[in-house]
Chains A and B, each alone.
Chain A
Amino acid sequence: MMRRRIHVHVLGWVLLAGWGMTSAPVAAQESLALRGGKIIPMSGPALEEGVILIRNGKIEAIGKDVAIPPDVKVIDAKGKVIMPGFIEAHSSRGMDQTNETNPNTPFLSVIDGIDPSQEYFDECRRNGVTTVAIFPGNNTMFGGQGAIVKTAGVTVNDMILKRGAGIKISLKPTAERSRMSHMAALRKELDAARIFLEEEKAKSSPKPTAASSDASREPKDDDGSTTNGFQRPPRGQRGTAPRPDAGNVDAAQVRAALASLLKGELLAFIYCELAMDVPQALRLTKEYGLKSVLVLDRDCYKAAKLVAASGLPVILEPTLVFWETQPQTGEDQQIILPEVYREHKIPVALQVTGIGSGNLFRQPNLPPTLGTNFLWYQAATLVKYGASEEEALDTITRRAAQAVGADKLVGTLEAGKDADLIILSGDPLKIDTWVEKTIVNGQVVYDREQDRKLKGLLQSDAKK
Chain B
Amino acid sequence: MMRLPGFPRFLLILGLAGFLAGPRSLLAEEWLIRAGKVYTLTGAPLAPGMVHVKNGKIVEVAAEIAAPEGVKVIDLSQGVLIPGLVDARSQVGIESSVNEITQELTPNYKVHTAINWQSRSFREALAEGVTTLGLMPGTENVISGQLAVVKTAGPLAQRTLVEAGGLVITVASDPANRNSSRQRPDSIYVRQPTNRMGVVWMLRQTFASAQASTNGTPSVIHEALTGKRTIYGVSRIDSDILSLLRLGKDYQFTPVLVEGNEAYKVKETLASAKVPVLLTKVTTQAGTATEGSEVFWNQGGELHDAGVTFAFTGGHLLDQARFAIRFGCPKGVALEAITKTPARLLGVESRVGTIAVGQDADLLALTGDPFELTTGVAWVMTQGQWHGKK
- A-to-B contact residues, CB < 8 Å: 1-5, 8-9, 323, 325, 332, 334, 336, 339, 354-355, 360, 364-366, 368-371, 373-374, 377, 380-381, 383-386, 389, 429-432, 453, 457-460, 463
Task: Report, nearest first, the 7 A-B pairs whose CB atoms are least far apart.
Answer: A380-B373, A3-B292, A383-B374, A4-B292, A457-B297, A355-B285, A368-B283
Bound: A460/B265 CA distance, A: 8
- Number of residues from B at the complex interface, CB < 8 A: 47
Q: Which of B120, B284, B376 has the most chain A CB atoms closer than 10 A to its own CB?
A: B284
The answer on a CB contact under 8 Å between B287 and A429 is: no
Given contacts A332-B123, A377-B373, A431-B322, contact A1 B281 (CB under 8 A): no
Bound: A429/B328 CA distance, A: 17
A370: contacting residue among B237, B281, B289, B292, CB under 8 A? B281
Q: How many A-B residue pairs have CB under 8 A?
A: 111
Residue of B nearest to A340 (CB): B1
Can you pick out 19 interface pairs between chain A and chain B where the beta carbons lie within 8 Å of each other? A1-B177, A1-B292, A354-B284, A364-B288, A364-B292, A366-B285, A368-B281, A368-B285, A369-B285, A370-B283, A370-B319, A374-B284, A377-B284, A377-B373, A384-B375, A431-B371, A453-B286, A458-B301, A458-B327
Residue of A nearest to B298 (CB): A458
Q: Is B72 an interface residue (CB 8 A)?
A: no
Bound: A50/B291 CA distance, A: 50
CB distance from A348 to the nearest CB of B (A): 17
- B-to-A contact residues, CB < 8 Å: 1, 3, 120, 123-124, 127, 173, 177, 237, 264-265, 280-292, 294-298, 301-302, 314, 316, 319-320, 322-323, 325-328, 371-376
B325: contacting residue among A339, A368, A432, CB under 8 A? A432
Given contacts A366-B287, A380-B374, contact A323 B281 (CB under 8 A): no
Given contacts A431-B325, A431-B372, contact A457 B287 (CB under 8 A): no
Main secondary structure of the interface of B (DSSP, over half): loop
Chain B residues with Cβ below 8 Å from A459 are 298, 302
The answer on a CB contact under 8 Å between B296 and A460 is: yes
A460: contacting residue among B120, B302, B323, B325, CB under 8 A? B302
Chain B residues with Cβ below 8 Å from A325 are 120
Chain B residues with Cβ below 8 Å from A1 are 173, 177, 291-292
Q: Which of A364, A458, A463 has the most chain B CB atoms closer than 10 A to its own CB?
A: A458
CB distance from A459 to the nearest CB of B (A): 7
Chain B residues with Cβ below 8 Å from A370 are 281-284, 316, 319-320, 323
Chain B residues with Cβ below 8 Å from A5 are 292, 294
The answer on a CB contact under 8 Å between A385 and B376 is: yes
Given contacts A323-B120, A364-B287, contact A431 B373 (CB under 8 A): yes
Residue of B nearest to A377 (CB): B373
Chain A residues with Cβ below 8 Å from B297 are 457-458
The answer on a CB contact under 8 Å between A457 and B127 is: no
Chain B residues with Cβ below 8 Å from A431 are 322, 325-326, 371-373
Chain B residues with Cβ below 8 Å from A3 are 288, 292
Residue of B nearest to A373 (CB): B284
Given contacts A354-B284, A460-B264, contact A371 B373 (CB under 8 A): yes
